[in-house]
Chain A
Amino acid sequence: MSVKKYWKAIEDLNEDSVVMNKLRNNEFVEEISTEKFLTDENLKNGSTSRRDFLKYVGFTTAVASLSACDGVVEKAIPYVVKPETITPGIADYYATSIADGHDFASVLVKNREGRPIKIEPNNQAKYFGTTNARIQASILELYDNNRLKFPQQSEFEISWHDADYEIKTALTNKSASGKQIVIVTSSMFSPSTDEVILKFKKKYPTAKHIVYDAVSNSGALNAFEDITGTRALPLYEFDKAKIVVSFGADFLGNWLGGGYEKGYSKGRSLGDEDKADDKAGNKGDAEMLQHYQIESVMSLTGANADFRYAVKPSEQTYALIKLYSLIVGGYDGVGNLKINNTVIDAEVRQMAKKLKSAGDNGLVVTGSNDKNMQILAMQINIALKSKAMNLNKHVHVNKGNDKDIQQLIIAMNSGKVGALLTYNVNMVYSLANSKEFVRGLDKVQLKISMSKFVDETAKLMDFNFPTPHSLESWGDAMPIDGEYALIQPTIKPLYNTRQFQDNLLKWAGVEVDYYSFLKKFWQKNILTKKEGATWNKSLYDGVFSVSTNGNANADYERGLLKINIAYVVKKAVRFWNKTKGTELELYVKLSMGNGVMANNPWLQELPDPITRTSWDNYLTISQKQARELGLKNWNEANGAMNGSLVKLTKGNKTVTVPVFIQPGQAYGSVGLALGYGRKVGVKSEMQTGVNAYKFYKNFAKYSSNIEIEKLEGEHKFACVQLHNTLMDRDIIRETTFDKYKNEDKENWNPTVTVKTEKGKKQVAEVDIWKSSNIEKEAVGHHFNLSIDLTKCTGCASCVVACNAENNVAVVGKEEVRNSRDMHWLRIDRYYSSDMTKDVADENGLSGIGGTAEMYDKMEIASNNPEVVFQPVMCQHCNHAPCETVCPVVATTHGKQGQNQMAYNRCVGTRYCANNCPYKVRRFNWFQYAENDEFDFNLNDDVGRMVLNPDVTVRSRGVMEKCSMCIQITQAGILKAKQEGRKLTDADIQPACASACSYNAIVFGDINQKSSAITKEFNSDRKYYLLEELGTQPNLMYQTKVRNK
């Protein structure tokens, strides 16, 4: 074989080339001039002596070594090999799902430099593609420094290897001795996990899997099982309903696993977004879902209803039976109960009439966990042939079975259980009969907890195995028949954790990791259901959908026949038979959920949308009952709210709890939120509220015979809104659907004018300023944001999204009491008042005294008020009052419409905050980051990993406020420019808009005629907040429309 020869130059081909030879032999072609240098005669005359030379050498060495000591670079490690997909400064998005046992959502996770920093909804997901406040906040749970970081045996670290060996041996023994091995998990609707558990059961035949939901939906599951034979939930599709009657169902909050936001929003849409070009008058065919709510505690859902009736739980039952009898017929009276005499008889008749005429567009739902109530509601829907309750597409997000849990406790106490494996449940905390459970726990020899935290339950277990966060895990889910979702890790596990499934596989002796197992399982069982489906594509999408067929009406007739309604009604009524005294409703707050995320400061500080109170739970009580019992809420001199304390007693259980006087609370009932009062595995700051699970006996949401006794002392609340009514000011514009549809815009959304010497003029025409170029020329981008008050429900997920995106500091309970919350975006909640200017006129209240009396009465909310929500952030005024008053020009106007804050120029005179009519500016009263006084996520190396690197962490003494997410708009503009195309709406969605499940927040460039914001800008419903001031905001609101 000949040696192939390569040549570099033409000379190479010439064998005897002189040049080439020379090059080959001499490495340095040119002569090195050392000779010349050394022989230089001038060198001798040089002034540099040997000693000088040594001095120089010595000095330079010293300098070199000294400079090496300087500036240790900490924790900045450059990539040796840069990962292909990571470009510093550019975010990556991964589709995955969050499933923490209480909430489920298909999400996109924003990753920067390998760190997940933000959760956004996955819009590809047909169902559960929305993020509530807890989902948004779950990113912070990932970086919780309180998480369990390594496997433990009796509080000592143990290696996985040793642990596996011990557990395998123990499990084999237990299985061999015939003792039960019980796995208790939260609701898992993961097909592959079911398979893993099967494998485990195969290895240990005595193994049993029990599902436990801290907040149970067993009632609905059992009801549906009774009707259809399948233990699942029906799929409620609110967009298909025209009339919704809800008996205490908080379906915008936590009802049946949640996820109903999109449907409701679609149902509530006025139909104007699709045809914004139409002028008024073309709204004739618009339809809007009408929403009735009958409830005791004021819920978010109730606050958004068109008609809300404050009715205590027992009366709700009677009302539902009454409704049933009116629609389906037959049950006018049960036993000695005269159903004719419900407290809202006329209203129920009205609802029945409407539901009947709506037919299959009607929907009745109930929030009760009583099976019988659920059956009644479902039966009404079946009778109506409701399109909105899909009986054939089942929802699996909740699977918990109350009976199994009670049996488990009995089995544990009788010593039948040999091993207890818990995963993602905290039964010691959340069981009403926690004491029995703990007693039973003593009789179990092998106790294994798999959890992210050492919580109340884990503390009592032999083995504590840390599990990774959803964002560090692999997994899958089937929340709804045919709708699959995948979970993929977005970061390498931060701690020495191992997934639940990996553990079971290991202990079952299956030597394969869960990822491979999952992939194989999908390729074999799931991807085969649809042609052309691939693993990678599904992983990329995060969701995978298989069309299921089935006729929604198939089961209706059968279902009706199967149920003995007389028996159901009797049982439903029996629950209230011995009712005396006050009734208690246990509810779940949007912020805290069932309590698993108690250690999350974002959620602790998130004000409840209704009470606007953070860092607490409390007994909500009606104004009337509070008066009777002498209970009070009052404000201290600095405005901070305090409340009386009461002793709440039910049977032998008591708790000391503060009262919160809640307008709209049904008289004779009180409410208390679950999910508070966590003590173990939770930082001391976050140990807030009282544990209401005590009263969650038999998982009954409602209970009666409650005694309330006033105690001495007071409780300090952290309430961010001290004033609850609108004072009859033009702040929220509201109209009825009828008026909106049929009347001229000026009647329900009048143009704001001012009187001048030249007659009435529109506000914009009266101006002392020269209009800027941006207004005159409409060049470049001009960003506007619109908030639709009809769609906004006040759910507050935008608030948490804003916290995450903009590194907003948590300030703690005491500072919230001092009215110094840092939220850039707040959601104002107003109640209606019985006193208005019209009423004052009628009653002849005039003159100074009369007016003072009128204003006094305006401050009092009605007994059952109408509620409005208004998200308020910086209005980005084109003529901003804050900009003119800053002495150092730290706040200025951007060319794209933003009102900008230069943090490093701010000296903190706070004049801008004073002069802001919207009071949206937030001042850094203290150093909130890296300060032990504020020991939240910003004071924690792990917690700080959640920080968005694009947004400055503000220091003490500077003003801050909403920036309209300028980091996002700038990045979007750059991206569009790089790709050589026009900016689209999708490039520039700020955190609040993308988090909004109801599509209430629309953002975009009004100089682009095709953008969604242009439609909002031209909408009839548009108005500006405090327009009469002439601030010319770049934020607009859309008039609230109530369907009544």
Chain B
Amino acid sequence: MEVHKINTPLILGNKTYKDITDDVTAPIKNKAGKLWWFAFLLSFSAFLAGVGAIVYTISTGIGVWGLNNTVSWAWDITNFVWWIGIGHAGTLISAVLLLFRQKWRLSISRSAEAMTIFAVIQAALFPIIHMGRPWLMHWMFPLPNTYGSLWVNFNSPLLWDVFAISTYFLVSLMFWYVGLIPDFATIRDRAIKPFKKHIYSILSFGWSGKAKHWQRHEEVSLVLAGIATPLVISVHTIVSFDFATSIIPGWHSTIFPPYFVAGAIFSGFAMVQTLIIIMRKVANLKNYITIYHIQMMNKVILVTGSIVGLAYATEIFMAWYSGVELEQYTLINRATGPYWWAYLTMVLFNVLSPQLLWFKNLRSSIVFTFILSIVINIGMWFERFVIIVTSLHRDFLPSSWRMYSPTYVEVLIFIGTLGFFFTLFLLYARTFPIIAQSELKTILKEENSIAKNKQANQSKEIK
């Protein structure tokens, strides 16, 4: 007779409800450690450097970047797509996994969503600062104006981007916040200092834990999850339209929407891995974010990574199959042209490296996962770089073929967004409940180690 396999418990260490509250609110209650301050100062100074570079760009002109007449987008849009991609995991974890009833999402969803929001903020910076005249950015919105019938161009994918990203940002923010309300209330109730209490009571919107509150909270969460789910697909689909609807060989490709979405989830999960592996160590959350969680996410990475690999292969196949010479040249140029190293990095890091996750001991190794998650994000950055730069730099007329190389300003801006992202995340880690504790508590009874042991014993007895 087949033995029922008992799932690994999602919460280790024989935790009680109180333990969970204690563990989650600990970083808020305690003073920040040296490590936190070090990390914070490092990210904050990176952020300031980025601000300086942005101010320099806006006051002097886009010319301080390395762009030219042929390659008019490069690091700016690469970073944009990269950050937007990273911003995909949060919603996927909280909304899509909710629909698939994956309980392991509970202990990571809060941080994944926070990451989403912070990443989207970074992403949203680039379309603004890459503009020649960013002070006119409001012209990108269909605002009523006094210029007669002047309106935005609804044919332009850039405009679709504006809508897609702002919608995604707002929905993610609301979803995240709604989930935070009961947890804020918990902190409020535990706070001793009046100032802190005051702040958290504002943030918790007067939550009192009544049944009616819970009911409404559940309803709103469900509705927002419903709205957020299609957004997971739509945002990166629309971002991919920036390229797919153009006529540049290497951009003009119908495979882009699914390929971009898979890539986004791939890189988003990798970034979640990076963050939670640090967080579980620093904030001592090993009992909540277990090896099992990491393994589960590694499986998602393996799947999406394989989809990305398939997409690369499909591009090559289609170039050959379509017989379009320009398409063929673009791909050959990517692999063997002056940017071969970017293409090689992309293939090694995105296609080959995640295949190692087939091995269980690698999949469950924290160190390996951590390194891999960074490798994947580097690889995904190169994917966008390859798509944008190698397609543009050699398109139709060889007379206009050019090269691109970034200036220090572009590099600083990118570092600045990393700094900004980590600054936000570090602040979040010290002031927000980093695990959705009230939700997590709903599974404590069946998912703690004692319960699991019991289940295991029962199944042994049956045997």
Contact = CB atoms under 8 A, between A and B. Distances in A.
A415 interface: no
B432 to A, nearest CB: 35
29 contacts: A637-B405, A639-B403, A639-B404, A723-B401, A729-B398, A818-B63, A818-B68, A819-B69, A819-B402, A828-B399, A830-B399, A855-B332, A855-B336, A885-B157, A885-B245, A886-B156, A887-B156, A888-B153, A905-B139, A906-B132, A908-B133, A909-B132, A911-B156, A913-B72, A919-B69, A924-B132, A926-B63, A957-B131, A958-B133
B248 A915 contact: yes
A638 B407 CA distance: 9
Given A830-B398, A913-B72, A925-B67, A905 B248 contact: no
B402 A881 contact: no
A888 B68 contact: no
Interface in B19-63: 60-63
B210 to A, nearest CB: 47
A815 interface: yes
B151 interface: yes
A821 B131 contact: no
B207 interface: no
Interface in B240-266: 242, 245-248
A970 B11 CA distance: 77
Nearest to B70: A919
Nearest to B399: A828
Contacts, number: 182
B395 A727 contact: no
B398 A726 contact: yes
Interface in B117-164: 127, 130-134, 136-137, 139-140, 150-153, 155-159, 162
A821 B139 contact: no
Nearest to B320: A848
A908 B132 contact: yes
B399 A851 contact: no
Nearest to B157: A885
B247 A917 contact: yes
B401 A722 contact: yes
Interface string B393-417: 0111111111111000000000000
B333 interface: yes
A881 to B, nearest CB: 5
Contact of B158 (A911, A919, A926, A958): A911
Contact of A637 (B150, B158, B403): B403
Nearest to A902: B150
Contacts of B395: 917, 919
Interface string A940-983: 00000000000000001111000000000000000000000000
Given A729-B396, A919-B395, 4 more contacts: A852-B335, A888-B139, A889-B150, A910-B62
A189 to B, nearest CB: 40
A231 to B, nearest CB: 45
Given A639-B68, A881-B246, A914-B392, A907 B329 contact: no
Interface string A879-893: 001001111110000
Contacts of A848: 332
A507 to B, nearest CB: 53
A926 B68 CA distance: 12
A819 B131 contact: no
B132 A956 contact: yes
Contacts of B401: 722-723
A956 B70 CA distance: 18
A538 interface: no
A411 interface: no
Nearest to A755: B323
A885 B158 contact: yes
Contacts of A821: 69
B448 interface: no
A855 B336 CA distance: 10
A865 to B, nearest CB: 14
Contacts of B325: 729
A927 interface: yes
B292 interface: no
Contacts of A914: 72-73, 246, 248, 392
A856 interface: yes
Interface in B197-255: 242, 245-248
Contacts of A725: 398
B144 to A, nearest CB: 15
Interface in A737-786: none
Nearest to A892: B153
Interface of A: 635-639, 721-727, 729, 731, 815, 818-821, 826, 828-830, 848, 851-852, 855-856, 870, 872, 881, 884-889, 905-911, 913-915, 917-919, 921-927, 956-959, 1026, 1029
Contact of A820 (B68, B130, B134): B68
Nearest to A1030: B247
Nearest to A811: B63
B281 to A, nearest CB: 39
Contacts of A1026: 396-397
Interface of B: 60-63, 66-70, 72-73, 127, 130-134, 136-137, 139-140, 150-153, 155-159, 162, 242, 245-248, 325, 328-329, 332-333, 335-336, 392, 394-405
Given A639-B402, A884-B155, A888-B139, A923 B336 contact: no
B329 A723 contact: no
Nearest to B133: A957
A907 B73 CA distance: 15
Contacts of B405: 636-639
Residue from B130, B136, B333 with most neighbouring chain A CB atoms (10 Å): B136
A984 B150 CA distance: 34
Nearest to A889: B153
A770 to B, nearest CB: 13
A721 B399 contact: yes
B152 to A, nearest CB: 6
Contacts of B328: 851
Nearest to B328: A851
A722 B403 contact: yes
Contact of B62 (A635, A884, A925): A925
B21 to A, nearest CB: 48
A751 B208 CA distance: 77
A855 B330 CA distance: 11
B63 A885 contact: no
Contacts of B247: 881, 915, 917, 1029
A168 B174 CA distance: 93
A848 B403 CA distance: 23
B59 to A, nearest CB: 10
A723 B60 CA distance: 30
Given A852-B332, A908-B133, A638 B404 contact: yes
Contacts of B156: 884-887, 911
Contacts of A819: 68-70, 402
Contacts of B68: 638-639, 818-820
B397 A917 contact: yes
Contacts of A911: 72-73, 156, 158, 242
B267 to A, nearest CB: 23
Contacts of A851: 328, 332
Contacts of B404: 638-639
Contacts of A815: 63
A727 B392 CA distance: 17
A639 B137 CA distance: 31
A887 B159 contact: yes
A905 B246 contact: no
Contacts of B399: 721, 723, 826, 828-830, 870, 872
A176 B70 CA distance: 69
A885 B161 CA distance: 12
B241 to A, nearest CB: 10
Query: Lowest 6 CB-CB distances: which A-B pairs, in order?
Result: A908-B132, A957-B132, A925-B63, A639-B403, A819-B68, A828-B399
Given A727-B329, A818-B68, A889-B153, A908 B131 contact: yes
Contacts of B245: 884-885
